[in-house]
Chain A
């Protein structure tokens, strides 16, 4: 087991060095879009009180944290892996080393996980400053954010492994990631939509991430959505299995 974690660290080391070299750049990129969403949707389009009885800003901040976990984790893992695999060819160098496939899956997801955690933590801290009466910090918040970042980092890896070119990554972003950003309960409650839309949106991981983080952040107003937490875990497991299969069968 110790050897496995050592492999995960060794695999992620190069990505962590990349993050170290570009820290301020990455930090600005990580917080910029969530901040813009907060200003535009939280304050610009403020709609008073939400359905659950908390100010709209308190309602939307956990949604923006979920969105931040998607955008930061997915983008970090997918972009870096895509570049390493298709342009630098350094991914092949790693693939021909005596490493376990599981360690490669987790190791290559570390950059996305860490960058996602960084973005979510900053956004969540800001939320606690802006709405201290409503937004609380607890173990379930940490667990939900961690799970969310891991799931989206795994999804980023899947996208990068399947991408045949930079263009196909851009297409994936436009068709899957962008609609998820806006529709998956980040800025409004999914339950306010008609049942067909609800059913579609519950098939997407960001809906469950939003529900988990929001219910964990507002414990006085919402019960924690254990079902969504389980769904998020299943999404993570599914992406792990796909990534493992793609690497093991060398279909990359």
Chain B
């Protein structure tokens, strides 16, 4: 698998504040890449730098062989973005939003009409096409936003916390959509706060903290790096975690604790890795 995104030593500062501090990261073609980090760690800034929405002071970003700064137009042709906040034009209908997006990618009428039909059928959006944006619920708006971003068949699709604010059903539906798009060959770059989302969907996960990648591997390998087994117990009303490579070691440690400690022995998950590496819980 070749690399479709290569980020090398990228530094991004907002005034005195350093958002990306020499970021290095590669995303492979066709993978579903998860990008995790505490609030303000630099997830959205990374997406904005790669998609040319924000400039950066140092480093290079190559997308599908094109420099994201010097060869911006070519790089933009292969990218699509679904922003954290639904970014549809609320003064237009869903169909008009789609046409407008297709026009921004210079698609001709025949191609854009065919693609809008194909994708809106696929996403069951047909009956909503001529309705104003605000008449749709959050989940349907997200679907419409995905169609807009996917109309020009991008090679890489960035999803910046796509499921935040959605109910459980809408979130699961969106997970299916993301998986299907990835199966069709689109590289997905997913930033998320939901650990189970990253665990369930992603081939590889990168964890960013203070503008730097602090861990990068498959979810299973990351869990193993901390210790396959976790013992969770209460001490003075605080939950403590201890990680073990071996199940017997974990059992032995758990047996030394009192029942009043509410001891729980379980497999390590990505949230444990996250907490262990960043020192914060997800979303904090």
**A88: which of B77, B81, B90, B148 is its contact (CB, 8 Å)?**
B90
List, in ascending order, chain A residues with CB within 8 A of B91's CB: 18, 21-22, 83
B161 CB, min distance to chain A CBs, angstroms: 13
* CB closest residue in chain A, given B78: A98
Asked if residues A89 and B83 are in contact (CB atoms below 8 Å), the reply is yes
**A99: which of B51, B88, B90, B104 is its contact (CB, 8 Å)?**
B104
Interface residues of A, dominant DSSP = helix
Asked if residues A18 and B92 are in contact (CB atoms below 8 Å), the reply is yes
Q: Does A11 contact B (CB under 8 A)?
A: yes
User: Residues 87-123 of chain A: 1 if any B CB is under 8 Å from the residue's CB, otherwise 0?
Assistant: 0111011111111100000000000000000000000
Give the contact-size bracket for chain B.
20 to 34
* CB closest residue in chain A, given B72: A98
List, in ascending order, chain B residues with CB within 8 A of A41's CB: none
Q: Does A173 contact B (CB under 8 A)?
A: no
Q: Does B54 contact A (CB under 8 A)?
A: yes
List, in ascending order, chain A residues with CB within 8 A of B104's CB: 10-11, 93-94, 97, 99
Asked if residues B106 and A10 are in contact (CB atoms below 8 Å), the reply is yes
Interface-side segment among B2-10, B95-103, B223-231, B268-276 = B95-103
* CB closest residue in chain A, given B85: A89
* CB closest residue in chain B, given A13: B103
**A14: which of B76, B100, B105 is its contact (CB, 8 Å)?**
B100
30 A-B contacts, Cβ less than 8 Å apart? A7-B106, A10-B106, A13-B103, A14-B96, A17-B92, A17-B96, A18-B92, A21-B91, A21-B92, A22-B91, A84-B89, A88-B89, A89-B83, A90-B89, A92-B87, A93-B81, A93-B87, A93-B104, A93-B148, A94-B104, A95-B52, A95-B53, A96-B53, A98-B73, A98-B74, A98-B105, A99-B104, A250-B52, A250-B54, A251-B55
Interface residues of B (CB under 8 A from A): 51-55, 72-74, 76-77, 79, 81, 83, 85-92, 96-97, 99-101, 103-106, 148
Known contacts A18-B92, A88-B90; can you find 7 more A-B pairs with CB under 8 A?
A3-B106, A13-B103, A14-B89, A17-B92, A89-B87, A96-B51, A97-B105
Interface residues of A (CB under 8 A from B): 3, 6-7, 10-11, 13-14, 17-18, 21-22, 83-84, 88-90, 92-100, 249-251
